[in-house]
Amino acid sequence: MIVGSTIFKMDGNAYYSPEFGRGGLSATFALDVMNLEGAPTVSVTVEHRNADETSFSNAGTFTSITTVGAKSADISDLKEILRFKYEFDAGDQSTDGMHFLTMAPSWRPY
């Protein structure tokens, strides 16, 4: 069994995680980047919306990912439904990729 997710730039379209419910009004989100293929620059955004809304908006972003290791983002004022958005930089090659593990958020009341 392989643990984690592997994504490649390919055609350049963004990747999205499954939606998940908020566990608190604030959280620290964490990724463990285990491998990089090529020299990508990956942007990871936490998007959110309320149940009565039809589109997501940006809740916060990680610092651009260019190296392996632990990455985190502390984000507040979260809405009810969340997802991750993964995007490669426009200058990256279609074969550039990243293998990573998404950790469970550390939820806080505010």
Domain boundaries in the chain? Answer: 5-108
CA 94 to chain centre: 19
Query: pTM score, two decimals?
Result: 0.95
* Contacts of 19 by beta carbon, 8 Å cutoff, 6+ apart: 81, 82, 83
**DSSP secondary-structure letter at 65?**
B
CATH class of 5-108: mainly beta
pLDDT 10s digit of each residue in the chain, 110 long?
889 999 999 999 999 999 999 999 999 999 999 999 999 999 999 999 999 999 999 999 999 999 999 999 999 999 999 999 999 999 999 999 999 999 999 999 98
What is the C-alpha to C-alpha distance for residues 70 and 17, in angstroms, rounded to an integer? 19
Instruction: For the chain, state the CA radius of gyration.
Output: 14
